[in-house]
Amino acid sequence: MSLSLEAGLRAGVEALGLALSDAQIKHLLDYSALIQKWNKVYNLTALRDPADMLTHHLLDSLTAVSPLIRHTQGQPIRVLDVGSGGGLPGVVLAICMPELQLTCVDTVAKKAAFVQQVAVSLKLPNLRGLHARVESLTDPYQVICSRAFASLHDFVTWSRSALAEGGVWMAMKGKHPQVEIGALPADVKVFHVEPLTVPGLDVERCMIWMKSVQSD
């Protein structure tokens, strides 16, 4: 099974145009194995089948890598993944972009502890899991991201205190969320909507980029 998983992952990575090393591929597979191992105890995901986890979790999260690389231009910035759960997409981003300092925050202690376990197991010094409410965070992050987390309004409102000056929000969504965009606070604007294609999944995905208009 692991051979077919690796083949599927490599094919997906190639389809996404990503240049990942063998070590990074191994890290992604090891991360998936850790999710499966701890899932029974921590209830990290409803998915149990490794093939489903490959497409719905790993490859889905990998679609965020190229857009983020284009945004950061290789700069070693701080990224906050809000409502990260088992670390999606935060752990995937930390594996693929070692220059990032990545914090995965979740209100569920077990899930934050799992991300910490992943950081130790995979020797990822740029990754940490944090058990907290995002509203309580005040350390500045240049990018705040989320995947299938909450409405755009709640996402930006709850995480606003952690956004660095000139920072951006990056929200991974399914279908183009026109109603949610219309409900954003007046001082938050969408500056880019990017369609995402997940290899092996026939679903609509997009990335919503937002910023505070005070940072203009």
Q: What is the pLDDT of residue 126?
A: 98
HSE-CB at 60 with a 13 A cutoff on CA atoms is 24
Query: What gap in Å lies between CA 136 and CA 21, rounded to an integer?
Result: 37
Tell me the pLDDT tens digit for each residue of 75-125: 999 999 999 888 999 999 999 999 999 999 999 999 999 999 999 999 999
Q: Domains along the chain?
A: 63-215 (3.40.50.150)
Pairing mode of beta strands 141-147, 163-173: parallel
Residue pair 61/89 in contact by the 8 Å Cβ criterion? yes
Strands 101-106 and 163-173, bridge-based pairing: unpaired
Please indicate, yes or no, whether the overall pTM of this predicted structure exceeds 0.85. Answer: yes
Residue entry with tokens 């899932």: 39
Q: And the tokens for 145?
A: 């991201």
* Residues of the chain predicted below pLDDT 70: 1-3, 41-52, 214-216
